[in-house]
Every structure is written in structure tokens, then in C-alpha cells.
Chains A and B, each alone.
Chain A
Amino acid sequence: MVPQDYYIALSAILFTIGALGVLIRRNALIIFMSIEMMLNAANLAFVTFANTYQHLNGRIIAFFVIAVAAAEVAVGLALIVAIFKSKHSIDVDQMSSLKG
């Protein structure tokens, strides 16, 4: 069996990749995907820990998170679409009229 530390490490790596993705990418959709990746990294951690402690808790939490992520998608995509409609672009760097 793969030791649980590996899972945790994987989850940490995924989380970091996700976070860096947010920092590096300019496409709003990809940023959004990176955020989803961070959430799923957390999910992985939950499930791993649940396995360690032999609880259900962590797994159930993972389901909650998936549900929340779905809700976020709904809101997020709506926002992105609305912006694409008016700006014809989803490059976040073009959205910098508010600053200072």
C-alpha cells in the first residue's frame, strides 16, 4: 500500500500547482480551473486523513467540497460569461480599470 505521506505530499504539490496557476495564468477560465485544483488537493488530503483515522468524516467532507465547488462553478462561469459578452475577452489582465 502506498504510504499516506505520499498522498499528502501529492496533495501539497497539487495545491501549490493550483496556487501558482492562479498567479501565472491570465485566462480567467484557467485561473478558475487552478482554483478547482486547489480545492481538490484539499479533498485528497481529507480523504487521505479520513483513511488514516478510519473515519467517515473526511470523506463526507470531500463530498461537501465537491458540492460547493459545483456551486462556485455556477456562479463563476456566469460571471465569466457576462464579462466575455461585454469585453470579448476573458484575460484577467484586461480587467484593471479599478486600481490605485
Chain B
Amino acid sequence: MEFFLQPLTLVTFFPLLGVLLLFFLPSDKKNLLRWTAMGFTLGTLGISLWVLELFNAPNPHLQLVAKYDWITVAGWNIQYHMGVDGLSILLLLLTTFLTPISIFSTWTAVEERVKEFMIFFLMLEIGMVGVFLAQDLFLFYVFWEFTLIPMYFLIGIWGGPRRIYAAIKFFLYTMAGSGLMLLALLGPGIEGKTFSLPDLISSGGIPTNTQFWLFLAFTAAFAIKVPMWPLHSWLPDAHVEAPTAGSVILAGVLLKMGTYGFLRFNIPLFPQAAVDLAPWMALFATIGILYGAALAFAQSDVKKLVAYSSVSHLGFVILGLFALNPEGISGAILQMFNHGISTGALFLLVGMIYEQTHTREIKVYGGLWKITPVFGTVMLIVALSSMGLPGLNGFIGEFTILLGAFGSTAINNPWYAGLSALGIIMAAIYILTMFQNMFLGPEGSIVEELKKRGHVLRDLNRREIIIMIPMLIFIFWVGLYPKPFFDLIGPTVDNLVAALQTTTLALP
């Protein structure tokens, strides 16, 4: 019993109760199914808030640790080891926050096979929360891979016309990376006789050469997940075909698993390699930022646009992480959260209009702000947050990241930050172009077409507004008063950077 009452165990496996309950509910009572799933995700959110309450921010170490022997025979030393610290607390909250929002957004969007949808969604939440809390390499891997399965079904069953293609591509791509990670995480596990991350870090001393290869292997998994340029090819397909809720979770949480992996594993576990390779990571991040932004501009499909913008935004996160200084890393963590909120909100909004018009072609829209003023205003705020307008959340993250990267001794080249800052202009270009083409200008052809079909474009309804309000609150909150967020992150990051400085040669 003690095992199950650990706060972190509870927050991870609470949705499992929902899954079990859903199995026994009749599949034709759709609203019952929806509210059950909603209830359990809200419950998880509640538990995660309890975790936040228990979390002692100034303590830079793992907290609320749940540690039990799992497999400890035959030379194995695998533990059920969960813990939360400044690196993961925000992402935990982001996950538990976005999941109910996504489920709420499916009320009218998912009408078929509701029961399965909800089951998969709850399973997905288990995996995602587990990824952010696991402190044992093996446990992490299990959760990491597990998230793939429900997402695969979510895309493959409830997705768009090319859903199966997208689902398989998503699955194989991610699996390709994680396979190498599997080998790599066995490396320290065999050498160090343990899979516990804190133990491995504190024992340290992986030879520089080994660090290098293991770093690359982990990078393969994380870089695909992020996705870093040039491994991004699966993302637009997956995003375009995924149902709205899937896109939200995919962009909001799943991609963060990659950047989080870098932060949790690559940097502390292979500090020397991280320092040595930081310029390369920065290079790829910078290319990703510019490339993603350029591509986003050229898209005619709004979901693709947002997908490519994710490539660009997550480039910022990578850049910040490998600045390897407190500014960059804190900024990157906050930016993960921000991106989850902003891009999640973008996908939600795109989904809301798609539900009415069934097209994602930007061309056919136009002048929506006049027809649907509330929708337009919310979209504007979210879009501005995505392009990093000061006063909104995106800016805080991007600014601190660029600031950190600019003076980073690890990257040691202000050009990366300088060029990446171009990404901010390019973000303005594609976001504003998108906003203009959909919401400004004369009425688009879709309005006429809908009229012919007897539809009138409606503004956001109450449910949709309720979905968006918490997103907007976070957008403003982080933008205007990010202190509580930085307070959660700061101590752990300072500790991490200090540890880096003691374990590596290159950092002064």
C-alpha cells in the first residue's frame, strides 16, 4: 500500500484506474466515457498539484523519491525509482494540465470509438508522466517506449486520410532512435552496475571516449523525438494526420520528452561530451531554428505550419540547453513549458476551426476576425505568444535562451545565438502571414462555401472558451510574472551547472 500512496506513483498510475474502469463501461454511453476520462485526468491534475505543494523548490535535489527494488538478481540492479526536481516539475504539471484540456477538446471532435480513444489517452498520460519522473534508466526506457503505443493508435485510428502512413512513420522513426538509446543505456548500466541515474551521475567517471559514443546514441533517440533538424521529417506528417487532441499532446508533451531527455541524461551523465559537442548541438539547433521557420512560412496547410514552427521553437530549446549555463538551461526548461502551452493552444484553435470547415488550407480562409471576433482575438494572443512577443510567455523563454547561448562558454560562439535570433524575425513573418491570411483581409472563399452547405461560421462556444482560458492565463502569467516558474527551476539548474563545472575540463 505504501508503494501506491507515494505521491509520484500515484500521479503516474492514477489514470490506470481510469483505464480499468473504462474497460467495464458500455461503449455506447459516450458522455459517460468522456466524463470518466475527464474526471481521471482532472484527478491526476489534482494529484500533480499536490505534488507541487509537497515540492520544496529551493532544494536542488530529487524530491518525493519513491525507490523500490525492481529487478535485483543476476547482476541486475534495476529499481523502481521515481523522483521529481526542478528539471521535471514543470513538465509534469504541463502534462497533467494539457491532458484534461485535450480530452475536453474532443467532446465533439471524437464521435467514434470514444471508449478506446479515452483508454489510449489515459494510457498515454501514464507514459508521459512516467517519462518525466523516472530516475532509473530502464524504467525511463519502459515509459519512453510505452508512450509510442497509444500515440500510434491515436494517430492511426482517429487521424486524417493518410493516418496509417503517418502513424507508422511516427512509430518507426521514434523507435529507430530509442533502439540506439536502449543499447546506450545498457552501457553505463553494465559499467556502473546500476541503472539508477543519480547513482550513475554521482559515481561519474565515464571515460571521455565512451561518453562521446554514448552521448551520440542517446542523442539519436532524443534528437528524433524533439525533432532536431534533419530528423524532423516525421513531424509534419504526424501532426497533420493526428486528431486535434493528439496534435496537442504530441506538440505539447511528447516532443518535450526529447528535450527533457537531453537535459536529464545527456548533460549530467556525459558532461564532458556535452561540453565538447555543445557547439555542434548549437549548430544543428540553429539550422533547425532557421530551417523550421523558413519552412513554416512556405506551408499552405496551417497544421503543417504549426508543425514546422515546432521544429524552430524546439531548436531554441536545444540551443538553450547546450548553452550549459543557468540562463540558457532555465530558459530552455521554461521554453519547453511555454511551447507546450502556446503550440498546444495553436493546435486546439486550429482544431476548433477545422471542426467547422474541414479544411486546413490557409488560402481558403480570410477575414475571420470579423466573423468570429473572439476566436480571432484568442488566436492573435496565442500567435503572438508563439512568436515571442514580450509580455507573453514565449518571449521570456526565447530571450533567456538566446541570452544564455550568446555568452555561453560551451558554445563559445555568439554567432549561433545571433543567427538564431533571426529566427525571431522569421517567426514574426510566418506567424503574422498565417494570421493575416486567415483572420485579416477580405472574407475567404470558405465562408461562401459553408453558406452553400448551409453552415454559418460560428464563434467559439462556451466549451471552447473554457478550454482556452487556462491557456491564456498561462500565456500572460509566464510572460508577466515568470518568477514562480523560475523559482521552481532555478536551484536545480544552478546545481546542475555547478556539477558540470566540477566534472569537466572545458568550462571555467
Query: Do A and B share a direct contact in the complex (Cβ within 8 angstroms)?
Result: no
